[in-house]
Structure 1
Amino acid sequence: MREGTATLIRRADYVAPIFWIRTVDLCFDLDPAKTLVASKMRLERNAAVPHGPLRLHGEELNLLRVLIDGESVSFRQEGHELIIDNVPDADFTLEIRNTCAPEKNTALSGLYTSGGSFFTQCEAEGFRRITYFLDRPDVMAVYTVTLRADKARYPVLLSNGNLVETATLDNGRHLAKWHDPFPKPSYLFALVAGDLVAREQRIRTRGGKDHLLQVYVRQGDLEKTEHAMNSLIASVVWDEARFKLPLDLERFMVVGVSDFNMGAMENKGLNIFNTSALLASPATATDADFHRIESIVAHEYFHNWTGNRVTCRDWFQLSLKEGLTVFRDQEFSQDMAATPSARAVCRIEDVRALRARQFPEDAGAMAHSVRPDEYVEINNFYTATVYEKGSEVVRMYQTLVGRDGFAKGMALYFERHDGQAVTCDDFAQAIADANPGSALSTRLDAFKRWYSQAGTPRLRARGAYDAAAQTFTLTLKQTTPATPGQDRKLPQVIPVALGLLARDGQALPLMLQGEDGAAGATETERVLVLDQAEQSFVFVNVPSEPVPSLLRGFSAPVVLDDGLGDAELLVLLTHDSDAFNRWEASQRLALNRILGAVRTGQPLVLDAAYLEAMRAVLRHPELDPAFKALALQLPDEAYIAEQLDVVDPQAVHAAVEAAQTQLASALQADWAWAYDTHQVTAGYSPDPVQSGKRALVNLSLAMLVLNATRSGDGVWPGRAYQRFKDATNMTDRMGALSALVNAQAELADSALARFHAQFKGEALVIDKWFALQGRAAERDGKTFARVKQLMKHPDFTLKNPNRARSLIFSLAMFNPAAFHRADAAGYVFWADQVLALDAINPQVAGRLARVMDRWTALAEPYRSAAREAIARVAAKPDLSNDVREIVQRALALDPRPAAVEVAAPTEVATQS
């Protein structure tokens, strides 16, 4: 959709459809150049809304025929709609024949080809690129699908549901017929046709039913599917045990494709995955890849109930399925981790991702609430706010009603809404109604502000100790910064999990003033509920001045200012029983020093107390290696930038680089001890114990190589190169290669060439090769120059989303020092690539455009140069809606008049 076709769609304008589609029979004659689609639908009027014409969505289609009850009917086409004015008042059958061109579909939305096979991606609005339809999530129908294709080229024919018929046809063709007994919206439709092989596993669930699980991939990738299959089995078992939600189809299929805009898609019974989220072997995938695959397989399977059986009424309710399902996959990952330490590591990593992606979103041009109020292009709202912040909202439900109470609420939700398209309000009401009298049910209206208010709340906490009365008064105050379109913010409901520690680390009792009973006299952790702008809580019988441990487990998605100094943070780092806050203390100690240097402009010099604290963490005999690796990593440069009102990316980078160099040097002997002590000698396994050791070993090696390179010592670079050559798994190999590349060691180029030669036939591994170079630590412009050169590499292409992301996104999104250049070359590069991608794949271009969300926070000369680049993109006359919406909102943050005319979207109501 290009200029002149954009409409501003508002949640307040929602109107139920004039027609329902009850059944759909689809027949595909598959051909890459011209696929024939025959659709036969049973429609009925919605008696609850006024009469009107039938309006069907369609894009990039060639219409051949329209029949109602077997007779030709007059119609008209306006824009991307097929309009039929005269339709029967009673139920009727609508038949449509059209063609589409899958091999020309570079947008990868709708029906397209990849590697000689057919695939679909219909969320959010891809089905209209297959055939004319009421392409909206509240229209749910039962589908029967017949696929016909050349048997030699496409021996595997798949669609949603259960296989009901196969047959051999004339001229070397064959057919497969599928029926899905569950009503679903069109965005959950899927088909796959190609020369694929499958890993199969039959299972019997707790309910005593037998099911067939299948993972389909191209020839040659079958040995990389074992982990995905094991993850799928674990997901089926977990969901039935935790939430009493069984697998509901005879079979469940997963298919991998290398050209895919997303990570994966939860089509009913036929999940389609980006191969990067499906394929893994020790030789080609890292520990992080194994963990990501387990999480994404679980996520898509869990959608079978939270998204498929109960779906969204409209796309504004996207977090109803995505936020809830992210929460479920996070809970699954923690349960799979098993040990308390491994569970804590999972939680820390989830919060790191939230802060890296969602907090900046809340502070930028595209800031929006978990349930947005309006959009131009729905693809732009598959965001960290909808997913990760939405998950934190669901987590707060569980915190407020308890784990058992949340399970009761989930049961009531499905009892009420199975088979329906509903809203976030329906979910909230079910959780509250299942837990009468809870902290949630008594504050439900206020709690739902998490769905309507954008921005990250700021939580200020201050404590006052009265030694004579032995009381500790904790005063909490909340504010939320203004965001585009929302200046006035109301108080949120914020659950604050906390403990109080004595200076020697002893946990203190938590009894509030006015409480009676013995519980508060012994419990050492509890949850306070802040629902006003400011509240004070008085704890009694506190024998000594405490150190508050607030927001344990990150109990709410807020920015905490607790006023604690180094002494208090060191108490938490040394003694806190909450692993998240222990990690947080390590990060705050580093952050305070880095920010101090950036704000004063003085060179960073790490003090002895901080270095000794980090040495104590590294040498601690009881801390888990995975936790140590996280605690000893410095805060991300982008996260540091979020703490600044005006950002000089090069100043931030200089401070971080100085801190890294000093940590590497001061703890050199300790890093060497950690490297030698935590080696894994057993056969490879991606389990938490082994992966934690490898994480600490690789961090230690990176520090040792960095220090050796700075000092001119060739021993550790040589050892890293040898480890790179001898590695028996990708985690060790990438760890050694990364250490060499980021230190810019002399052996780095040789190692990169060797790596490419060894894995040149493995597309996902070559993606890692590109990504490592795009993210490499910047010094003297070398990384930026390398990326520009790699754009010309024969293995690079913009047409494959994974490859484009591996290099361009690595530079622009994850390497601020290389991207934000004083000569503006990074911004020129960004604009060039956004425009080039927009002509090929608008969804991918839109993701890249988001890099400039916070351009107004940049210091000069970066700010003016960034604005010029954004304006250049906005001036392009034929931008997609995906990119246009983002750059217009970015320019709208600038109080100065725009230098170019940018057409505003037409503000008209729509039912889509």
Structure 2
Amino acid sequence: MHTCQHQTVYQKDYSAPDYLVETVELSFDLDPELTWVASRLKIRSNYDRAQGLRPLVLDGEELTLVSLKLDGVELEPARYTAGDGALTVTDPPESFLLEVTTQISPKANSALSGLYASGPMLCTQCEAEGFRRITYFTDRPDVMAVYTVILKADKGSCPVLLANGNLVEKGDLPDGRHFATWHDPFKKPSYLFAVVAGDLVHISDRFTTMSGRQVNLEIYVEEKNQGKCDHALRSLIEAMRWDEEQFGREYDLDTYMVVAVDDFNMGAMENKGLNVFNSRYVLASPETATDDDYQAIEEVIGHEYFHNWTGNRITCRDWFQLSLKEGLTIFRDQEFSADMQSRPVKRIADVRLLRSSQFPEDASPLAHPVRPDSYVEINNFYSMTVYHKGGEVIRMLQTLLGREAFRAGMDLYFERHDGQAVRVDEFVQAMADAGKRDLSQFMRWYNQSGTPVLTVSDDFDQASGVYTLTVTQSCPPTPGQAEKEPFHIPLSIGLLNRQGRELPLQLEGEKSQGAITRVLELRQETQSFRFTGIASKPVPSLLRNFSAPVKLVYPYSQDDLTLLMTSDSDPFVRWEAGQVQAVQVIMGLVREIQAGGTPTVPEAFIGSFGTLLTDQRQDRAFLAEALTLPAEGYLAEQMKVIDPAAIHEARELVRATVGERLRAQLVGARAACAPKSPYHPDDGLAGCRRLKNLCLSYLMAPGSREAIGMAMEQFKNADNMTDSLGALATLAGCDCPEREEALEAFYRKWRDDRGVIDKWFSLQATSRLPQTLDRVLELLDHPDFDIRNPNRVRSLVGAFSQANQVRFHDAEGRGYRFLGDQILRLNGINPQIAARMLTPFSRWRRFDAGRQELMKKELERILAEPGLARDVYELAAKSL
């Protein structure tokens, strides 16, 4: 067993920095093989020196120290030590100038943290602790300084030199070199520092702020990608306008720059004025990007721009407060996307993601609060809980306070804390003060882990016309938290009579409300709410708009669910009623399969599915969501002991039955969605394309030759990537000769486009065919597979292990061995990506004894690896 010990950092141990850095002057002599970095740091003490002198400790990793000067004088070796991740100066004065020169090798930096090479450019990624891989520094978010940066490089290979802030000066140097000087007037922590240098081109536009200032907008890419940036630029302009209108936030620098990078560990990074993006969230054209790609670009562009205020102007005091910026900005980008797209469909998509990824995290050994108590490696807490559950916590605040008071709270937060590094507590206090509410109990959402369960029962008294709704909240034990105190939960509800009419809600003892939606505030373990003036027992419409990230238990009958599906005014509840029906049907089939029976899909379900399919009143985007069956991963969460094979068989039986029994309706719905004009990403028909491709997938499920012909025809004639990929996805899961023909044709056409070939890898990795793992193993040796590229790893290794439940969890354990091999391979190349691949193993206790033993062995094998990175060590150790 691996015996190395990695240091744990605890929230309770926070102390203010001993030294603050007021200004930073950096000079880079850039070269992929060997870069020189000279820093000039103006530093002052931040403690009571009368109680004794404290050493200056600067963080540093993978650095070669060349020289060290204090107030212009070279330091003697006796006055400092360098090594073990730190540079320590033993007896610094109260304030001083420290000059440090280091050497680094960007090309050798496969971890993609700090300064590294990606194709023809050099770029940085400093969040969370990458700046220490560039130079020695107090690399923590509560040390904020003003930066000036001079970049020098060969003009032929690096004609573009970018850094944070505003361009101050540029010019030529001897020997074919040149320089650029950038100054950022706003104090920032080191994690927001950025540099990009390379042979790039850009497209540009201008934005006029609400105060009349002109801002230059520039998106930098490799020349071959110049034609794929228009959508990202339009999205940026929309985001800037939206943030002014919704939150009164105006951009503050002269220039806003975005750079697309092929090798990137994350989606994007909000560095002040110079955002570095994973290329997949910038580059788009109708030929190469799907409707989903276009929406994702809009969301991520918005997210990183919104960080300018929620993350940059106001940042985190320490990394335990990560959700202060990420949860808040997730909420902001979700609201932006809802306004740009379809609000109901966006809400459903966000809930799907939360349930499929964050709920399992909450129910695993990796569960942690939105504000964690401790960590070994901070990169491991860039998690679904911190981001997406954190976003739901912000949404609950808006639900409890109302939009007007929530906006007042945001304004107060910006007014109080601009230019500061603060905690979650300061944000919630601003909300409490603006809304004149006591939110002390609400803070439990930040400090308690796990997904609360709301168990609801009801009673109706015909004589008095009183309907009583009783809600009990509970939360299962999670690591380190066996007992939970009651949360403060907003439960949005409505009541419908049997004719589908929504009833005005009047709580006993209150004057008539008249509203058909009411937010109940749950603060106790069990609470009852008595509604008066009710003529007959109603059907409760619970958790409208998914008002809290909880699991709901209520004994709905099939008639209740049908009524909610067809009559409820809340789109989320209508969708959820259909999902509950589908879960009930599929899990019933699972039980029959496990008992050795001959399962059949209930007629009532096929009938309601058909009725919904032909409902012309429904928005096509919403209809596509409503007709999409719950994913196998979500279905697995409904079982005490997960049976991936039975789940897959049951879900496929439903798909095949729908495809056979509703063939005519599916063909008709698909034809009705056929385009009347050439494709355009902004044509408003994304929902039609989604529904058309969903119908094709159902028609293909029984494997009929007619459906295969439809898929091949669509694949060959598609004028856009959405339809091309929609057809190829169905063929990739079909054991037919056309499968190889289509995959080979797709590869030949798009082999020079990295983003499209990522899709090609993913389609093969997520195929449910029995031979999929053999194909994945072959693809590891494909000339286009690169283990050093995070997108490629995610598209093959990640897609197979995280999205292909039935093949990854093959009972023989081959999938587990495959993933263990890739994690160990990645450990020495890119530990951050290696750790992210480990997530499927964290759920090992939820499976049968055989699979448990096989997954446990892989975790033990990983932990026994010498030199295991702390990223991987932490998650593997916690999983066991």
TM-score when normalising by structure 2: 0.98
**Separation in structure 2 between the aligned mates of residue 65 and residue 4 of structure 1, nearest angstrom:** 32
1:774 is aligned to 765
Deviation for aligned residue 1:3: 7.5
1:501-541 CA distance string (max 9 Å, x none): 1111100110000002x3x2x21111000010000000000
Q: Of the candidates 67, 80, 88, which is equivalent to residue 93 of structure 2?
A: 88
Deviation for aligned residue 1:139: 0.2
2:354 is aligned to 354
Q: Of the candidates 689, 692, 695, which is equivalent to residue 690 of structure 2?
A: 695
1:909 is aligned to none
Deviation for aligned residue 1:842: 0.3
SS at match of 1:280: coil
Q: Of the candidates 557, 572, 575, which is equivalent to residue 549 of structure 2?
A: 557
1:752 is aligned to 743
2:496 is aligned to 501
SS at match of 1:182: strand
TM-score when normalising by structure 1: 0.94
Deviation for aligned residue 1:60: 0.2
Letter in 1 for 2:627: L
**Separation in structure 2 between the aligned mates of residue 45 and residue 818 of structure 1, nearest angstrom:** 58
Quick one: structure 1 residues 261 and 647, their matched pair in 2 at CA, closer, same or farther if it must change by over 3 Å?
A: same
1:811 is aligned to 800
CA contact (8 A) 2:140 2:189 kept: yes
Letter in 2 for 1:686: P
**Separation in structure 1 between the aligned mates of residue 440 and residue 407 of structure 2, nearest angstrom:** 21
1:62 aligns with 2:54: no
1:897 is aligned to none
Letter in 2 for 1:571: L
Q: Of the candidates 205, 214, 217, which is equivalent to residue 213 of structure 1?
A: 217
Letter in 2 for 1:750: E
1:331-384 CA distance string (max 9 Å, x none): 0001112xxxx2100000000000111000000111000000000000000000
SS at match of 1:689: coil
2:531 is aligned to 539
SS at match of 1:103: coil
**Separation in structure 1 between the aligned mates of residue 540 and residue 757 of structure 2, nearest angstrom:** 47
CA contact (8 A) 1:28 1:146 kept: yes
CA contact (8 A) 1:603 1:655 kept: no
SS at match of 1:758: helix
Deviation for aligned residue 1:705: 2.1
CA contact (8 A) 1:773 1:787 kept: yes
Range with bigger deviation, 406-415 or 4-13:
4-13
Quick one: structure 1 residues 3 and 802, their matched pair in 2 at CA, closer, same or farther if it must change by over 3 Å?
A: farther
1:478 is aligned to 473
1:701-725 CA distance string (max 9 Å, x none): 1111223x2xxx4222112112111
1:428-485 CA distance string (max 9 Å, x none): 000110111xxxx23x111000000000000011111111111110000000000011
Q: Of the candidates 322, 326, 331, which is equivalent to residue 322 of structure 1?
A: 326
1:46 is aligned to 46
2:826 is aligned to 837
1:778-809 CA distance string (max 9 Å, x none): 3xx21122111111111111110001110111
2:273 is aligned to 269
CA contact (8 A) 1:3 1:881 kept: no
1:9 is aligned to 9
2:164 is aligned to 160
1:806-835 CA distance string (max 9 Å, x none): 011110000010100111101110100000
SS at match of 2:107: helix
2:622 is aligned to 627
Q: Of the candidates 75, 84, 88, which is equivalent to residue 80 of structure 2?
A: 75
1:430 is aligned to 430
Quick one: structure 1 residues 458 and 603, their matched pair in 2 at CA, closer, same or farther if it must change by over 3 Å?
A: farther
Deviation for aligned residue 1:745: 3.4
Q: Of the candidates 571, 574, 577, which is equivalent to residue 563 of structure 2?
A: 571
Q: Pairwise mapping of residues 149-548 of structure 1 onto structure 2 (< 5 A)?
A: 149-337=153-341, 342-436=342-436, 441-442=437-438, 444-516=439-511, 518=512, 520=513, 522-548=514-540
CA contact (8 A) 2:678 2:719 kept: no
**Separation in structure 1 between the aligned mates of residue 571 and residue 599 of structure 2, nearest angstrom:** 28
Q: Of the candidates 726, 731, 736, which is equivalent to residue 722 of structure 2?
A: 731
CA contact (8 A) 1:43 1:94 kept: yes
1:851 aligns with 2:846: no
Q: Of the candidates 658, 672, 686, which is equivalent to residue 663 of structure 1?
A: 658
**Separation in structure 2 between the aligned mates of residue 816 and residue 603 of structure 1, nearest angstrom:** 23
1:830-863 CA distance string (max 9 Å, x none): 1000000111100000000111111101113111
Letter in 2 for 1:229: L
CA contact (8 A) 2:54 2:91 kept: no
**Separation in structure 1 between the aligned mates of residue 875 and residue 330 of structure 2, nearest angstrom:** 25
Structure with higher RCO (Cα < 8 A, 6+ apart): 1
Quick one: structure 1 residues 434 and 254, their matched pair in 2 at CA, closer, same or farther if it must change by over 3 Å?
A: same
SS at match of 1:483: coil
SS at match of 1:747: helix
SS at match of 1:634: coil
**Separation in structure 2 between the aligned mates of residue 5 and residue 44 of structure 1, nearest angstrom:** 34
Letter in 1 for 2:484: K
Range with bigger deviation, 387-396 or 737-746:
737-746
2:647 is aligned to 652
SS at match of 1:220: helix
Q: Of the candidates 783, 792, 799, which is equivalent to residue 794 of structure 1?
A: 783
1:116 is aligned to 120
CA contact (8 A) 1:3 1:879 kept: no
CA contact (8 A) 1:58 1:132 kept: yes
1:587 aligns with 2:579: yes
CA contact (8 A) 1:509 1:542 kept: no
Deviation for aligned residue 1:9: 0.2
1:128-155 CA distance string (max 9 Å, x none): 0000000000000000000000001000
Question: How many aligned residue pairs are there?
Answer: 871
Q: Pairwise mapping of residues 597-616 of structure 1 onto structure 2 (< 5 A)?
A: 597-600=589-592, 601=594, 602-616=597-611
SS at match of 1:786: helix
Stretches of structure 1 lacking an aligned partner (at least 5 in a row): 892-912
1:624-670 CA distance string (max 9 Å, x none): 11111111111011111111111111111111111111111121111
Letter in 1 for 2:139: D
**Separation in structure 1 between the aligned mates of residue 478 and residue 661 of structure 2, nearest angstrom:** 43
Letter in 2 for 1:667: L
CA contact (8 A) 1:502 1:545 kept: yes
Letter in 2 for 1:534: T
SS at match of 1:434: helix
**Separation in structure 1 between the aligned mates of residue 680 and residue 45 of structure 2, nearest angstrom:** 57
SS at match of 1:147: strand
Letter in 1 for 2:557: G
Deviation for aligned residue 1:599: 3.5
**Separation in structure 2 between the aligned mates of residue 147 and residue 818 of structure 1, nearest angstrom:** 50
- Deviating above 4 A after TM superposition, structure 1's stretches of 4 or more consecutive aligned residues are 2-5, 48-51
**Separation in structure 1 between the aligned mates of residue 48 and residue 425 of structure 2, nearest angstrom:** 21
CA contact (8 A) 2:589 2:601 kept: no
